[in-house]
Amino acid sequence: MYNSKIIGLGKYLPENIVTNDDLSRMMDTSDEWIQERTGIKERRWIKEGTDDSSAVMGAKAAEIAIERSGLTKDDIDFIVFATLSPDMYFPGCGVQIQDMLDMRTVGALDVRNQCSGFVYGISVADQFIKTGMYKNILVIGAEFHSGGLEKSTRGRGVTVIFGDGAGAAVLTREEDKTKGILSTHLHSEGKHAKELVVEGPSIMHWVPEILEANDPDDVSYYPYMNGTFVFKHAVVRFSEAIMEGLKTNNLNKEDIDMLIPHQANLRISQFIQKKFGLSDDQVFNNIQRYGNTTAASIPIALTEAWEQGKIKEGDKVVLVAFGSGFTWGSVIINW
């Protein structure tokens, strides 16, 4: 058995910046409400007419991650792609990456675990590397939210939160069992599936039926979120997942050098920071600039923290996520 470690990180954000004031011209909202409730100042939304999509953005982030890893695309043995906004209903984005990056015919797996997608993806990659089945794995988190949001007052509770973007990591084998990814922890509670959901288009909410009914009140294909309910569960599950990871590795909260929480809401991050007694330098947030990019949020934040020199060799880095499903999880890394 081996450990795995992250040796390359990359991110891609579409150029188009959408401010809170821009949103208040589309719907009844305000910069004050959005900043006070979420901490978000602006987000990136793919501009109509550009080629960007979840797969395209993922490919751009992946190219950077591979280059920084010192490997080439031919060294990659497996692709894991996490997204809730795939380019196509099927096949998933993973195979598009195999094609776009002109890679060998390696396996490509799509992970559908929303905000926890990257944590799930890292865990999957870690297991394959641990057993020795694969040596180098590319894990991508990418989201094209803006194409599927309801840009009117009816959708404001969700629409102001989400942004587009992509992040990627290259994992490789680590022979030293005290280094790299020390453990991953995954959970789900499906009874809350409908508290944060897009019901259609799906086999249950099939497009011809939706189109035929032409019902202006049918919002099944827009995201729905019971925000307060989700918020309350998020703070509990974030804490539990961090504690579980620390306990597994005989670590204390004082051992955390860098916490990268899924960027769901700045208030959630601040709550967790306070609960674990961490300083501003020990928690990385960029939701202010990018909004919530679900599966892309952790790899984008991790990439930025690393680019800014905030993660050094030997640091204990904790990734933690919670989202639709409900799903949640954590990753404990000795960088």
Residues with active-site annotation: 115, 262, 292
Closest separation between CB of residue 75 and ligand UT7, Å? Answer: 33
**Which residue's CB comes closest to ligand UT7?**
227
Q: Are 298 and 284 in contact (CB under 8 A)?
A: no
Residue placing its CB nearer to ligand UT7 in the complex, 181 or 268: 268
Q: Of residues 148, 157, 200, 201, which one binds ligand UT7 by CB under 6 A?
A: 157
Applying CB under 6 A, does 180 fall inside the site for ligand UT7?
Answer: no
Q: String of b and e for 47-60 (b: at least 16 CB within 10 Å)?
A: eeeeebbbbbbbbb
User: Which residues sit opposite 328 in a β-bridge?
Assistant: 187, 322
Q: Of residues 123, 265, 286, 330, which one binds ligand UT7 by CB under 6 A?
A: 265
Q: Of residues 246, 264, 283, 287, which one binds ligand UT7 by CB under 6 A?
A: 264
Cα 212 to Cα 214: distance, rounded to the nearest angstrom: 5
**Contacts with ligand UT7, 214-233, as mask; x by CB under 6 A:** -------------xx-xx--
Q: Look at residues 42, 108, 48 and name the one whose alpha carbon lies nearest to residue 81.
A: 108
**Residue recorded with tokens 């934040």:** 301
Closest separation between CB of residue 226 and ligand UT7, Å? Answer: 8
Residue placing its CB nearer to ligand UT7 in the complex, 180 or 291: 291
**Residue recorded with tokens 């905000």:** 115
Closest separation between CB of residue 98 and ligand UT7, Å? Answer: 28
Hey, what are 10's tokens?
A: 């990359």
Q: Which region among 79-87, 134-142, 183-191, 260-268 touches ligand UT7 (by CB under 6 A)?
A: 260-268
**Contacts with ligand UT7, 269-298, as mask; x by CB under 6 A:** -----------------------x------
CA dihedral sign, ordered 286, 289, 294, 300: negative
Q: Look at residues 326, 306, 281 and name the one whose alpha carbon lies nearest to residue 168.
A: 306
Q: Of residues 11, 44, 68, 156, which one binds ligand UT7 by CB under 6 A?
A: 156
- Measured CA to CA in angstroms, residue 293 lies from 2, 57, 234 at distances of 31, 12, 16
Cα 268 to Cα 246: distance, rounded to the nearest angstrom: 19
Q: End-to-end CA distance of the chain: give it in Å, rounded.
A: 19
| Interface residues toward ligand UT7, by CB under 6 A | 29, 33, 37-38, 115, 156-157, 160-161, 227-228, 230-231, 234, 264-265, 268, 292, 322-323
